[in-house]
Amino acid sequence: MLNLAYIDHLACNGRSFLHRAPLGLRIVLAALLVGGAVAARGLPWALVPPVAGLALLLAARVPLLSVAGLAAYPALLAALFAVSWRPALAPLVFCRAIGAALGLLFLLTTTPYPALFSRLPLLPPRAREILLLTYRSFFALLERCLDAARAVRWRGGLSWRAPLAGARGLGVALAGAVLAGWDGAEATYRAVAMRGHGTGTGAASGEAAGASCAGEEIARVSCIRHFYPDRTEVAICGLDFVLYRGELAMLLGPNGAGKTTLFLHLTGFLRPAEGLVRVFGLEPARHFDAVRRRMGVMFQDVATQIVGPTVRDDIGFGPRAAGWPKDRVAAAVESLAGRLGIRHLLHKVPHYLSGGEMKRVALAGALVMEPELLLLDEPFSGLDPRARAEIAALLLDLNRARGVTVLIAGHEADAFSPHADRIYVMSCGRIAGVGRPAEVLADGDLLRGAGLDVPPVLKLIGDLRARGAGRR
């Protein structure tokens, strides 16, 4: 796994002229090396492919010692097999094997896997798409395992003084990483389903389609109760949660308040055991496709939401699943990438992006289908001030100029909060309050009761008033 990740890193981050050369030329050079190694009949000729392979890797600015070591493994195995069969052929077999291995490594270290997969002949488009999704999932799981190993090492779990205890700690951490990867796979499934893969691609049903008036109620959640598989009960009661067409609403609450559970009910991934959930007049869990086509979602863990092998492929995932023509998909991706400032990332593979870049890519995937309703879970976390301001301006334009209904969930009142039309406050599964920003943000008792920080400006005003009352 680590060798595959290392090769992928070299291919995606290389800056040599061979990395920029046409893919066809790289394939031809690799084929010549492999073919020459296989066809070599004598030892002098068998030395040519390894030397040529090392020269190409040197020109590609690839670390020779590391890559040559990878090529030496299969070559040594082939030579050992030859020794047991016909010892005199061992040098020839070794040179052939290492020449062929260097040819393959040259291609793999200069060409990202997604580019290679896209050129596989005789592979059905759906099979190719599944292969590319597997590539992305593999690196997401590997990243979790490496994080677990780093955590164990940092906390002293890998020690030569206690190797058995260290191995046990590493095993427990990796098992936890695999279980977390299972949860990540479930989140990835939700992202794929929301973007139309494996679902119907026709127009929305007549019950859900059609023009609607501004100010119309498009979502309502009323006192729902849900039981998770471990029998954990989550109830969201108190005031009804209502969204009206064209408004920008915020949902504030601490971690564990029930914001994600509310989102999963609105998207139809969870069905309430009790209570009412309606989106566009439909029950989302029963009319998933009809609701999904009109909704864009960005969940909190954006890494599990990005499913494409490259940024360009990921943004175009939904339109391709909907059957858009290729030129329309390409135009939509280019236009949206320009608006979000990520056009320079379109050729990148997602697992080498920063957290802020992943956030923008996930937002692009949610916006590319031009949804009527946009649900965003913690959209500003992990962004620097400039990126936060740019995303805020984009969301305001979507809402004010294009009429997109926007719901933003967060765990604190921030600089964007005053732009909302209404703010809902959640606490321990209850919608404890709702009102305009000026009313909610000024209600210190409501915010503190929900476990939220009072905005600094209001704290200052309260302190000044307290001091003034004390002086009197």
Instruction: Based on the fold, state whether residues 40 and 160 are members of the same structural domain.
Output: no
Identity of the amino acid at 462: G
Average model confidence (pLDDT) across the chain? 78
CB 433 within 8 A of CB 239: yes
What is the distance between the alpha carbons of residues 102 and 71, in angstroms, rounded to a whole number? 6
Residue 134's domain comprises 125-194
Condensed to tens digits (0 to 9), the pLDDT of residues 106-124 reads 888 888 877 777 766 666 7
What is the distance between the alpha carbons of residues 387 and 382, in angstroms, rounded to a whole number? 10
Identity of the amino acid at 393: A
Regarding beta strands 373-377 and 295-298, do their DSSP bridges make them parallel or antiparallel, or are they unpaired? parallel
**Running DSSP on this structure, what letter comes out for residue 199?**
S
The predicted pLDDT at position 213 comes to 47
CB 311 within 8 A of CB 350: yes
Condensed to tens digits (0 to 9), the pLDDT of residues 25-40 reads 888 899 898 888 888 8
Instruction: Based on the fold, state whether residues 88 and 237 are members of the same structural domain.
Output: no
Low-confidence ranges of the chain (pLDDT < 70): 1-5, 68, 73-76, 78-85, 119-123, 132-133, 136-137, 139-215, 229-231, 454-472
Looking up residue 381, the CATH number of its domain turns out to be 3.40.50.300
Q: State the pTM of this model.
A: 0.68
Report the C-alpha dihedral over residues 352, 354, 359, 361, rounded to 10 degrees. Answer: -40
**What tokens does 303 get?**
């890494």
Domain assignment of residue 328, yes or no = no
Instruction: Based on the fold, state whether residues 73 and 164 are members of the same structural domain.
Output: no
The predicted pLDDT at position 63 comes to 81
Contact residues for 138 (Cβ-Cβ < 8 A; gap 6+): 1, 4
Identity of the amino acid at 468: G
Condensed to tens digits (0 to 9), the pLDDT of residues 43-92 reads 888 888 888 888 888 888 888 777 767 777 666 676 666 666 677 777 88
Contact residues for 333 (Cβ-Cβ < 8 A; gap 6+): 312, 315, 316, 319, 346, 368
Domain assignment of residue 327, yes or no = no
Domain assignment of residue 325, yes or no = no
Query: How many residues can be counted in the chain?
Result: 472
Report the C-alpha dihedral over residues 328, 329, 332, 334, rounded to 10 degrees. Answer: -110
The total domain count for the chain is 3
**What tokens does 125 get?**
């488009």
Regarding beta strands 241-244 and 274-279, do their DSSP bridges make them parallel or antiparallel, or are they unpaired? unpaired
Domain assignment of residue 133, yes or no = yes
The predicted pLDDT at position 209 comes to 37
Instruction: Based on the fold, state whether residues 449 and 424 are members of the same structural domain.
Output: yes
Identity of the amino acid at 353: L
74-98 b/e (C-beta count within 10 Å ≥ 16 → b): ebeebbeebeeeeeeebebbbbbbb
Which segments of 123-162 does DSSP mark as H helices, in order? Answer: 125-154
Residue 212 sits at φ, ψ, to 5 deg, of -135, 160
